[in-house]
Structure 1
Amino acid sequence: MALVKYKSTTRKLKGGLAVESQARNFKIVMDEPETLGGTNTGINPVETLLCAFGACQTIVALAFAQSQNINLQDFWVDVEGDLDPDGFMKGAPGIRPGFQEVRFTMHIKSNSSEDKVQAFQKFIENRCPVSDTLSKGVAIKPGKIVIEK
């Protein structure tokens, strides 16, 4: 199968740090909490990243449970990450602006055997595109700058 291109556009909103991102016909608002200079009108981009990670794992579980012979009665993922704001806010030397570590816990409600559920967990981790992108990295290639007048 050929590569599929995904696209999004993010624009600033009036005042503060709030932004609106759009992919296909769907929009989300992101902002920073007031303690980081925002107006707290939405979750922030790093929280969105954690949500995308958990959502991707959940969607993989839902999409493949039947083919993996898992009787999936319920599923959710708790995700957390550690980030030092000094890396982002102050550009402090030696401190990454991004997450130092991301941890997650899958909650799988199923009457399938423990061995099958553990194998399914590994399957989910191996098939989740967001997990793959975060754990293995991806090339970031800046495009040209378009100066609007």
Structure 2
Amino acid sequence: MAETDAKSEHTVSYSISAESKTATHTVIEARDFEFSVDEPTNVGGTNAGPNPVEYMLGALAGCLNVVGHTVAEEMDITVRNIAVSIEGDLDPRKFMGRAEEPRAGYQDVRVDLTVDSPADEATLADWLETVEARCPVSDNFQNPTPVSLSVTSD
């Protein structure tokens, strides 16, 4: 049996680096890009960028778009555009240290895809099922992913 932490020859690794600018503002570098994560001013941030959980929803939208177009091409379905609307609900009490339950992350995420396509409903239902199964970000939302944290002091 293979070790669970062994990478296959097909594994692609991604990495970022980040540094805090303030208690709420983080600057992230990914490949040749830099972006900010921050909280809105009404919760003590400087509003220098979307907050972490908004980026999660944005990552899901971006991934669904890429996978949606890829799958449509493979299935020979004409898709002129995909508009994605996502809402997620979370209870901030655990994050704020005010309660142990419920979990800190999203409790519910609702995704609506509006597809500009001449395809019929049955074809689009098959397309959506394939998109959901193949979207890496959707997979991470729906399944536990091991995360290993460590700390080093300067």
So what's the TM-score if we normalise by structure 1? 0.91
Among residues 120, 143, 150, which one is paired with 1:136 in the alignment? Answer: 143
Preserved contact between residue 40 and residue 51 of structure 2 (Cα < 8 Å): yes
**Runs of 4 or more off by more than 3 Å in structure 1?**
none
Deviations for 1:58-105, whole angstroms, at most 9, x for unmatched residues? 111122311111100110211111111222113412232211111111
Preserved contact between residue 53 and residue 131 of structure 1 (Cα < 8 Å): yes
Question: C-alpha displacement at 1:18, in angstroms?
Answer: 0.8
User: Is it true that 1:96 corresponds to 2:103 in the alignment?
Assistant: yes
Preserved contact between residue 90 and residue 106 of structure 2 (Cα < 8 Å): yes
Preserved contact between residue 77 and residue 105 of structure 1 (Cα < 8 Å): yes
Aligned residue in 1 for 2:85: 78
Shift of the 136–16 alpha-carbon distance from structure 1 to 2, 3 Å rule, reads closer
User: Is it true that 1:10 corresponds to 2:15 in the alignment?
Assistant: no
Aligned residue in 2 for 1:28: 35
Preserved contact between residue 16 and residue 39 of structure 1 (Cα < 8 Å): no
How far, CA to CA, are the matches of 1:53 and 1:129 in structure 2? 9
Q: Residue type matched to 2:16 in 1?
A: S
Unaligned runs of 5+ in 1: none
Q: Residue type matched to 1:9 in 2?
A: S
Preserved contact between residue 84 and residue 111 of structure 2 (Cα < 8 Å): yes
Question: C-alpha displacement at 1:39, in angstroms?
Answer: 1.0
Question: C-alpha displacement at 1:133, in angstroms?
Answer: 1.1
Q: Residue type matched to 1:4 in 2?
A: V
Preserved contact between residue 16 and residue 37 of structure 1 (Cα < 8 Å): no
SS of structure 1 residue aligned to 2:99: coil
SS of structure 2 residue aligned to 1:56: helix
How far, CA to CA, are the matches of 2:132 and 2:31 in structure 1? 26
Question: C-alpha displacement at 1:16, in angstroms?
Answer: 4.5
User: Paired residues, what number?
Assistant: 146
How far, CA to CA, are the matches of 2:134 and 2:73 in structure 1? 15
Unaligned runs of 5+ in 2: 1-8
How far, CA to CA, are the matches of 1:49 and 1:134 in structure 2? 9
Aligned residue in 1 for 2:5: none
